[in-house]
Amino acid sequence: MRVAVAAMRGCLERVAEPPSVDALVVLGDFYCPRSVEALAGLGRRVYAVPGRFDDVYIARLAAERLRLLEGRLEYLGGGVYLAGVGGREPLMNIRSVSEALRGARGPVLLASYYPARGVLDLSRAGARRGLWELGELLGSGAPVLYAFYSVCVEPGAQLLRGGVVHFCAPSASEAWAIAELGW
């Protein structure tokens, strides 16, 4: 199973050509309808996790044109699951994903707008960007193997911590990060 992940940064009319993969995951901020339309025009299965600057209209458009992953667990096939924590209601998303993970029987790829607090986190004090609740979820023994973040230190940065590969997603206008999931 190959999954490509990227982050939206700004209002894009086109995105970098994604590689040949089983699924595409895009993390907000989408900002404008053109970004959603550009992703929908890829002609592939695209999962979306809205960012904190995405308003209700953009999130609804993403739900209509893409597969909204915010607060959900989705079975990708091959024993692999995909979960999403968006930027608009992250605590509700974490609770929903936490409940859903109890039923997951295989490895999980978590796509989150925010990183876990202290993991590829931009903030120096408080929880300006990172969420300690997400850190608790990842430390709870949930079967998460990869965690991709949109708002973090720098695109491409990665860290292995607690058996989870934490990765800072690159911009969809430049590149896609690939997760090779196979067992």
Retrieve residue 116's tokens. Answer: 């876990």
**How many domains are contained in the chain?**
1
Please give the average per-residue pLDDT across 138-150, as a whole number.
91
The whole-number average pLDDT for the span 22-34 is 91
Q: Average pLDDT for residues 88-99, to the nearest whole number?
A: 94
Q: Which candidate, 20, 3, 81, 8, places its Cα nearest to that of 49?
A: 8
Q: What is the pLDDT of residues 39-74, one digit of tens each?
A: 999 888 899 999 988 888 998 999 999 999 999 999
Q: What is the mean pLDDT of the chain?
A: 89
- Taking CA 94 as the corner, what is the angle to CA 89 and CA 96, rounded to the nearest 5 degrees? 95
Distance CA 46, CA 65 (A): 9
Q: Write out the two tokens for 71.
A: 């607060």
Residue 142, pLDDT score: 87
Alpha helices in the chain (DSSP H): 33-40, 56-65, 90-101, 132-138
Q: Supply the pLDDT for residue 1.
A: 82
Question: Higher model confidence: residue 115 or residue 128?
Answer: 115
Band of residue 128 on the pLDDT scale cut at 50, 70, 90: low
pLDDT in tens, 4-24: 999 998 888 888 888 888 889
Tell me, what's the pLDDT at 90? 94
Q: Residue 124: pLDDT band by 50, 70, 90 thresholds?
A: low
With beta carbons less than 8 A apart as the criterion, state whether 164 and 171 touch.
no
Residue 175's φ and ψ, nearest 5 degrees, are -160, 175
How far apart (Å, rounded) are the C-alpha atoms in residues 119 and 92? Answer: 20
Cα(52)–Cα(43) distance, integer angstroms: 26
Mean pLDDT of 167-172: 92
Put the strands of the sheet holding 177-180 in their side by side order.
67-68, 46-49, 23-27, 2-7, 177-180
Locate 31 and state its tokens. Answer: 């900002």
Kindly report the CATH number assigned to the domain that includes residue 139. Answer: 3.60.21.10
CA–CA separation, 23 vs 3, rounded Å? 5
Rounded (to 5) percent helix, strand, coil in the chain: 20, 30, 50
pLDDT for residue 84: 96
Mean pLDDT of 86-115: 92
pLDDT at 2 (0 to 100)? 86
Cβ neighbour number for residue 83 with a 10 Å cutoff: 28
Domain span holding position 73: 2-180
